[in-house]
Amino acid sequence: MKRIMRWFRFLGLSVVLLLVLGSAIVYVLSERILRRTYTERRVEIAVPEDSISMREGHRLALIHGCATCHGADVNGAVFIDDPLLARLIAPSLTAAVRSYDNADLVRVIRRGVRPDGSSVIGMPSEMFSGLTDVDLGKILAYLSSAPPRPGLGPERRLGPVARIGLVAGRFRPAAELARRAGQLTGSWPRDADSTALGAYLARTSCTECHGLELRGGDQAPDLRIAAGYSFEAFTELMRRGKALGNRELPLMSQVARSRFRHFTDQELRNLYTYLVARAASPS
C-alpha cells in the first residue's frame, strides 16, 4: 500500500513538473513572438480638413469597425477581458491621433506595426491594409476632429489560451496578418473590373470575420452564401441584421446593425454584385 501511495505521489509530482515546464516553454516562445520586430516603411498620406470629409470619415470609421473596438466615442474600451484568454484594451483613438505622427498612424493601422517596430495584437490590420489613401485620410480627419476626452490607454495581458494559440499558430500578430493580406492583393479584382468596387468593400469590411479569402471559418460562413439572397434580402440582412427567414444570426446581426447599416445603397449594390460574381466563379 505504501509503495502504491509513493507511486501516486511521484506521478502527481511528475505531472505538476511537466505542467510547469510546459507553461514556461509556452511563455518564453510566446514572448519571443510578441517581441518580434517588423520592418515596414512609413508612408505619409493627405488628411483633409473640410467638414464634409470629416463627416464621411465618421461614416467610414463606423463601417470599418473603429467604434466596435475602441468605443462609441473612440476614446478607448475594454475589447477582451477573459483571464484564460486575454485582457486587451483598444486605446483612445482621439489620443492616438494626437500623439502619433501621420506616417506612424498609417503604419499601425495598415501594417499593424507600432513606432518601435513591434506588432499590435487583436487589431484587424489585414482588413485595413487595403484601405485607399483617400478613405484612410478621411478617417484620420474624423479622428482628429473628435474632441479628446480622458480615455483608456492601451493594455495587453495574454492568458494561457492566447499564448498557446500564438505558439501553435492559431493566433497571429497583426503585422503578420497584414503581410499575408498583401500577398493576396493580386487575387482581388482590379479597378477596370466591374466588380472592383464591391471587392474593395468586401476586402476592407468583411475579411476580419470571413477570412482573407472570404471563405469563412469556425464563426463565419464562406461569403458565397450571398448568392442565395436576392438583393432585397441582402439589403435586409445588411441594414437590419435579418437573415433569410427573418432569422437572427449570432454575430452578423449585431455587426450589420452597428456597422453595415451605414453603407450607402450604391455600396450595397456594389458589394452584392461582387459577392454573387465570386460565388459563380469556379475558383
SS3 90: strand
In this predicted structure, which of 82-86, 107-111, 125-129, 279-283 has the lowest mean pLDDT?
A: 279-283
For the residues 123-151, what does the mean pLDDT come to?
92
Residue of 20, 43, 33 lying closest to 165 (CA atoms): 33
| pTM for this prediction | 0.89
* CA distances to 56, 87, 126, 232, 260 from 265, in Å: 15, 38, 26, 11, 11
Taking only the tens place, the pLDDT of each residue in 15-57 is: 666 777 778 888 889 899 999 999 999 999 999 999 999 999 9
| pLDDT above 70 for 1 | no
Same domain, residue pair 231 and 165:
no
Per the structure, the count of domains in the chain is 2
Same domain, residue pair 131 and 55:
yes
Residue where a domain stops, chosen among 115, 148, 171 = 171
Taking only the tens place, the pLDDT of each residue in 232-271 is: 999 999 999 999 999 999 889 999 999 999 999 999 999 9
Residue where a domain stops, chosen among 171, 206, 224 = 171
Query: What range defines the domain where residue 67 resides?
Result: 51-171
Check residue 45 and give its pLDDT. Answer: 96
Single-letter amino acid, residue 192: A
- Average pLDDT in the chain: 90
CATH no. for residue 269? 1.10.760.10
Taking only the tens place, the pLDDT of each residue in 141-195 is: 999 998 887 777 788 899 999 999 999 988 899 999 999 998 887 778 877 788 9
Residue of 149, 106, 114, 274 lying closest to 205 (CA atoms): 274
Dump the DSSP string for 155-212. EEEE-HHHHHHHHHTSS--HHHHHHHHHHTGGGSPPTTSTTHHHHHHHHHHTHHHH-T
Residue 178 lies in a domain: no
Residue 106 lies in a domain: yes
